[in-house]
Structure 1
Amino acid sequence: MDDEDDKIPLTGRVREKLVETKQEWAREGRLLTGQTADPSRDRLPPGQRLVQDWPVLDLGVQPDIAKEKWRLRLEGLVEAPLRLDWDAFMALPQAEAVNDIHCVTQWSRYDNRWQGVRASTLLDLARPKPAARFVSFTSYDGYTTNVPLAEFAREEALLAHSWEGAPLTRQHGGPVRVVIPRLYFWKSPKWVTRIELLGADRPGFWEVRGYHNEADPWKEERYSDAP
């Protein structure tokens, strides 16, 4: 990150015990039911339970990002790298989407209403090169995750700045977070600041700690080496 990004204040510290506990879940295959489901027929993926609230989950560090300091870079294997400030981001075509959240910790929340910029809008501007196959996300707290470019390019993928008609709170990833509703929600990083298109996959924070690289909830792809 450049000097401007370095000025973003961070509060808290990484909760190492939490990280260790979730790694242990992966080693033990905790929460797995061994079932699969059909998303065209079954709205709730296997092993999930519905909640009405929206649990706050993070690594223990929350960046405090004023909108005037927020920046988004889309770079890597693209013809036209993007660097957007808040005003440029909000000047892009805006979209609204309603979808469900499925967290790997076994909760799901239906009918979340988001406002933001479609990922496809950003990709159209950046023009991915033919060699681009994967996407790596980096957040202001240092968190990383990865998805295939084809997943990020889907119509429902969004960079959201609002939820239920109000700006995203800091706790839930504001001012901007990624929303990729077809995958477990750790693939939808909070506080996003960098999107890099790659020719080869680059596993992120949880993917190198035992969590599944594809993360399809209906296939119950919670962990990479589950029993």
Structure 2
Amino acid sequence: MSGKAKPAVRSDERLPPGQHLTPGFPVLDLGIRPEIILADWRLEVGGWVETPTTFTWDKLNALPRFEDVSDFHCVTTWSKFDVRWTGVAFFTLADLVKPRAEAKYVLFASYDGYTTNVRMDDVLDDDVLIATHYDGKPLTREHGGPARVIIPKLYAWKGAKFVRSIEFSESDKLGFWEVRGYSNTADPWTEDRFAQPAPRSHAGACLNGGQTPRLVVPAISCSSQQLTIGAGM
């Protein structure tokens, strides 16, 4: 694989339908925040590629640095504008491992057991990256550090926190939330949240101040300190 990443196509409507802006940055995960020693951290990139590669922390950070400012859209209906990420462009990794022509999908796996799947076409945009810094500072455990995936044009659960492996595949393998009924494509501008009707839950009321929920989301626990829903959000 060689060449350049394709320019990301972004909607003229900056705030997707059904979303509201938040000035903060809510923390959402599986409730497991692994403590990873950087000397032990590894990112395995393989599957249908010509050159499977395992990156240490130093090896990843020796690659060309990439910075992007993008908007962040969570499936629980909040969005945050102008988020500054720094790390390594996904296209840089793909160019090194050289995906085979048969590779049409990518599966991300995380140190907390989370997985999520995307189409190959979605990760080759020029704003997709493995982020190691947020707003100029090293990524904290709360936000998925030491490294997480950022795919701005999709709902944020598609961007795995605590990322540990990237598998290129000829077949689509559903991830943690996808097998539980979440959309496989996750387009915020079409409110593409679910592949099927969501299970009944009272969680939406917790997210919406106790009022009739705008969105019913399965398997969420809420408290005044933290929201817990999915490792990719």
Corresponding residue SS for 1:114:
strand
Whole-angstrom distance in 2 between the partners of 1:65 and 1:150 = 30
- Which residue in 2 is equivalent to 1:90? 61
The match for 1:126 among 75, 97, 110 is 97
Give the unaligned 5+ runs of structure 1.
1-37
Amino acid of the structure 1 residue aligned with 2:89:
R
- Which residue in 1 is equivalent to 2:111? 140
- Which residue in 1 is equivalent to 2:74? 103
Sequence identity, in percent?
52
Match status 1:185 vs 2:162: no
Whole-angstrom distance in 1 between the partners of 2:65 and 2:12 = 30
Whole-angstrom distance in 1 between the partners of 2:79 and 2:11 = 17
TM-score (norm 2): 0.80
Deviation (angstroms), 1:40:
2.8
Whole-angstrom distance in 1 between the partners of 2:44 and 2:65 = 18
- Which residue in 2 is equivalent to 1:10? none
Deviation (angstroms), 1:69:
1.1
CA contact (8 A) 2:10 2:153 kept: no
The match for 1:45 among 16, 25, 32 is 16
The match for 2:177 among 206, 212, 226 is 206
CA contact (8 A) 1:114 1:160 kept: yes
Whole-angstrom distance in 2 between the partners of 1:136 and 1:40 = 25
Match status 1:58 vs 2:26: no
Amino acid of the structure 2 residue aligned with 1:74:
V
- Which residue in 1 is equivalent to 2:222? none
Match status 1:225 vs 2:212: no
- Which residue in 2 is equivalent to 1:171? 142
Deviation (angstroms), 1:216:
0.2
Amino acid of the structure 2 residue aligned with 1:161:
T
> Between Structure 1 and Structure 2, which shows a larger proportion of helix residues?
1
TM-score (norm 1): 0.82
CA contact (8 A) 1:39 1:218 kept: no
Corresponding residue SS for 1:101:
strand
- Which residue in 2 is equivalent to 1:215? 186
Q: Which consecutive aligned stretches of 4+ in structure 1 deviate over 6 angstroms post-superposition?
A: none
Whole-angstrom distance in 1 between the partners of 2:90 and 2:11 = 23
Whole-angstrom distance in 2 between the partners of 1:40 and 1:223 = 21
Amino acid of the structure 2 residue aligned with 1:224:
A
CA contact (8 A) 1:67 1:86 kept: yes
CA contact (8 A) 2:84 2:134 kept: yes
Corresponding residue SS for 1:109:
strand
Whole-angstrom distance in 1 between the partners of 2:87 and 2:152 = 14
Whole-angstrom distance in 2 between the partners of 1:109 and 1:151 = 20
Whole-angstrom distance in 1 between the partners of 2:37 and 2:155 = 28
Number of positions where the alignment pairs a residue of Structure 1 with one of Structure 2: 190
Whole-angstrom distance in 1 between the partners of 2:56 and 2:177 = 28
Deviation (angstroms), 1:39:
4.8
Whole-angstrom distance in 2 between the partners of 1:105 and 1:40 = 20
